[in-house]
Amino acid sequence: MSKLDEAVGDSRQLTLTALGFDERDDHGGPTPLKARRALQSDLFVCDLSDVILKDDMASMEHPFYSLTKKPDREPRRYTYGNKWIEFRPSVKGLPTIYDKDLIIYAISQIMAKHEEGEPLPKTVEIDPYAFLVYTQRGTGGRDYDALCDSLDRLDGTRFRTNLVFEGTRKDEWMGIIDRAALETDEKSGKPRSLRITLSDMVLEAIERRAVLTLHRDYFRLKRPIERRVYELARKAVGQQDSWKPWPLSRLHQKSGSRSALKEFRRAIKELARSDHLPDYRVEFDEAKDTVTFYNRGTMPRRKSEAGQAVPSIDLGEDWQQLARDNAPSWDPYMLRQEWEQWCAKSRRPIKKPAAHFAKFCQTWYQNHGEA
């Protein structure tokens, strides 16, 4: 065993106090977040501390992943306008939001390489131990078994969706990953490497840059509903100061939660009280039964080609509808990102941002057609 392996092994036994982590909240009580497991980056074979977490916007918008740890084998169908998508679970059930960690991790690795100028690979190689540590999990035998279960659910679940273009409907059947291969040491039983081939659906989202940066503490959120609410807040608010109040019933629907509305309300109240969600503060209005997300200002700004931060421009509350009206089938968030990048590059003052954004979307649609 190398000195590096010994150091990593010994580090698992260190107390949080010895590591210098304060796992108490502002009121002196235990934090609702998991204790940090990842240590300094020089303890790892590869430096993962600078990898920016990425998530695909489609799965952030639609409830692809189950929020329960119990096997969820019930098919689902999500409809938006004349488009729909069906989720057909495997015999082990739908992928859970914890299984999604593998996809986030894989996308993050791909994006890190792509931003260094490398072409987008469809297959990514993952160190199973590094993945477990980075995503705040244990590294025992049960954790590796759980990793295999995640692969079973991700590989076995299929999606069917319809695409309508010029009067023709095209049905497509697809999955999240096309294949996975796990290499394990025959004597020790310890997995050595994992290769995941992402599906075209996920790769296309990466190519279109329909991804958003996640806070590192996403993996420290203990409850599935907390992770899901963070995703929804991340996509809705972005770099804006806040997002208009959501009816609790609407948030419940978009979350994909199978719990009763009253149980969901109780979870949101607790989330607002504990105030531990990364990047955003949650405010629950009991009288109106609404939820508002406020930006903490903790997420990094996007960078322009010149390396400068791209400012977020106020487009009003109806900017998503402007995007859908002028560039049907294109993701509004991707269009906004492209537009803000264009504005930063041109450095021209925008007198009427909403009208300018609508024209940008219209031109984009004329040049690129259907997404």
**Cα 361 versus chain centre, distance:** 25
Q: Which residue has the higher pLDDT, 69 or 3?
A: 69
Residue type for position 69: K
Q: Which residue has the higher pLDDT, 105 or 348?
A: 105
Average pLDDT of the chain is 77
What is the pLDDT, as a whole number, of residue 312? 66
Query: What is the Cα–Cα distance from 210 to 233, expressed in whole angstroms?
Result: 16
Q: Average pLDDT for residues 187-193, to the nearest whole number?
A: 84
Single out the residue of 65, 132, 55 nearest to residue 95, CA to CA: 65
Cβ pair 214, 192 in contact under 8 A = no
Instruction: Please give the model's pTM, rounded to 2 decimal places.
Output: 0.69
Query: What is the tens place of the pLDDT at every residue in 261-282?
Result: 999 999 999 999 999 998 999 9
What is the pLDDT, as a whole number, of residue 301? 60
H or E element at residue 179 = strand 177-184
Please state the φ and ψ torsions of residue 194, each to the nearest 5 degrees: -135, 125
Query: CA torsion sign, 107 to 108 to 112 to 115?
Result: positive
Two structure tokens written together for 203? 């790769």
| Domain locations in the chain as residue ranges | 34-216, 237-295, 319-368
Q: Average pLDDT for residues 244-252, to the nearest whole number?
A: 89
Asked which of 37-46, 56-65, 299-308, 347-356 is least confident by mean pLDDT, the reply is: 37-46
Query: What is the Cα–Cα distance from 286 to 242, expressed in whole angstroms?
Result: 18
Single out the residue of 302, 289, 282 nearest to residue 242, CA to CA: 282
Query: What is the tens place of the pLDDT at every residue in 215-231?
Result: 888 888 989 999 999 99
Cβ pair 146, 154 in contact under 8 A = no
